[in-house]
Amino acid sequence: MRPIQIPTRLRSHSIKKPIEIIDRKPEENANGKSDLQPLIEMQDIYKVYKTNAGEFTALKGVSARFFPGQFVSIIGKSGSGKSTLLNMITGIDRPTSGKILIGETYLQDLTESEFSEWRGRNLGIVFQFFQLLPMLTLKENTILPMDFCNMYTPPERDIRAEELLDLVGLHDFKDKLPAAVSGGQEQCAAIARALANDPPIIVADEPTGNLDSKTADLVLQLIDKLVKQGKTVLVVTHDEAVAQRASRTLVICDGELVDEDISRILPHISHRSMLRLSHEALEIRKEPGENLFFESNELPGLLLVVDGQVEMRSDDGKRQASYESGSVLPGGFIKKNLEARRNFRISNRSSARMKYISTDNLQNIITSSRSFQDYIQKLEAGFDFELSGSREVKLKK
């Protein structure tokens, strides 16, 4: 195959390898902004498909940022928009409107041919059904991206392909065609191919969906290693084990991203209830020592402690209880304690960020969701739930 020459303009758009590595959502400063520069930024992305039945909006105003060295899982029910979101980043599909910035490159500014070459240098893509070329050996499949982007010399490509296949446990199968190996081995070969050009971003669609548990664990260990090396890994998955290994999990429902704080604190409610809460929740920030709920009309239907600590104190100032990040306080509990001359304030140690839902909006969501209604009833009745490590409030009868 004749190597493709990369245009000079496109070469300058290649992403520099990330220097600062994080394994979580970046901390925000006092203004709610992160000081770390995102590697990928999606800005108000819409994707509308025209079908015989009319227009279908697969993505509705999606905005998201992904940072160097993060392992991000994207979960949602079938048809929620997971794969469409991934296809926007990889350029397999283009947004109807909105912008995607990766590194210093706006993807919409690239032509199709430039996009293909840019993608080959900067993205490693692992498809659910492998997409290996059947007439090429596993080694030749791994060499292909290097050849396409004119990366490394021919002898270096040969050595690198063998090293990558060895990394995924396929050294002894390098000269076999895809049809001669198992599905798990094909997936591992697809990962080796995705790493061929040492891209800073790895994107995978259900990478463990067709694998046995042993091979799936091997793939997850490999992803962990890539993240430690500074790669940014985005994975669409239904696999709970994958989501649990990720440093961030995004939930998508009906083409919209659920608020990350809500999905983290209330992971066991339905995705649709999460989305409704995301639409209705208001964010408040309070300084250390600041009191909450001076007036009865300030009382929320539900309060989520996102960051920091809320304390409940008696009338004489003694601390009765404290509620850490991840706590859920129902409005009835707050009202009951205020009537008992207890008050709520922010801990002196740090500021706090909270999200609250008004009583009316909460009631509307309860009415539309039986499962969420059950959750609220149990919460207000004083039962504890183990929700991803969050601390629930237990009412005193």
Residue 388 lies in a domain: no
Asked whether residue 191 falls in the same domain as residue 294, the answer is: no
Asked whether residue 127 falls in the same domain as residue 68, the answer is: yes
Q: Which of 376, 395, 385 is nearest to 326 (CA)?
A: 385
Asked whether residue 212 falls in the same domain as residue 305, the answer is: no
Asked whether residue 213 falls in the same domain as residue 350, the answer is: no
Residue 14 lies in a domain: no
The per-residue pLDDT for range 74-108, each reduced to its tens digit, is 999 988 999 899 999 988 889 999 999 998 888 88
Asked whether residue 47 falls in the same domain as residue 184, the answer is: yes
Asked whether residue 204 falls in the same domain as residue 326, the answer is: no
Residue 393 lies in a domain: no
Strand 328-330's sheet: what is its strand order? Answer: 282-286, 352-357, 302-307, 328-330
Asked whether residue 194 falls in the same domain as residue 285, the answer is: no
Asked whether residue 284 falls in the same domain as residue 206, the answer is: no
Mark which of 208, 228, 257 sits at the end of a domain.
257
Letter for the amino acid at 390?
A: S
Task: Name the phi and psi angles at 268, rounded to 5.
Answer: -100, 0
Asked whether residue 86 falls in the same domain as residue 233, the answer is: yes
CA distance 235 to 187: 14
CA distance 244 to 259: 18
Q: What pLDDT sits at residue 35?
A: 59
Residue 31 lies in a domain: no
pTM: 0.82
| The total number of structural domains that make up the chain | 2
SS3 at position 46: strand
Mark which of 236, 257, 278 sits at the end of a domain.
257
Q: What pLDDT sits at residue 26?
A: 54
Asked whether residue 118 falls in the same domain as residue 253, the answer is: yes
Residue 356: CATH number of its domain: 2.60.120.10
Asked whether residue 113 falls in the same domain as residue 250, the answer is: yes
Residue 99 lies in a domain: yes
Q: What pLDDT sits at residue 295?
A: 62
Task: Name the phi and psi angles at 62, rounded to 5.
Answer: -75, 125
The per-residue pLDDT for range 202-243, each reduced to its tens digit, is 999 888 877 778 878 888 888 888 888 889 999 998 878 788
Burial of 30 (0-12, 13-18, 19+ CB in 10 A): exposed
Beta bridge partners of 310: 323, 346
- Pair of tokens at residue 112: 């199709």
Residue 327 lies in a domain: yes
- Pair of tokens at residue 329: 């306080």
Residue 196 lies in a domain: yes
Burial of 62 (0-12, 13-18, 19+ CB in 10 A): buried
Check: CB of residue 315 under 8 Å from CB of residue 342. yes
Asked whether residue 282 falls in the same domain as residue 245, the answer is: no
Q: Which residues of the chain have pLDDT under 50?
A: 1-14, 16-24, 28-33, 383-397
CA distance 253 to 251: 7
Q: What pLDDT sits at residue 297?
A: 58
Residue 135: CATH number of its domain: 3.40.50.300
CA distance 79 to 71: 23
Mark which of 229, 257, 285 sits at the end of a domain.
257
Residue 171 lies in a domain: yes
Q: Domain limits at 115?
A: 19-26+37-257
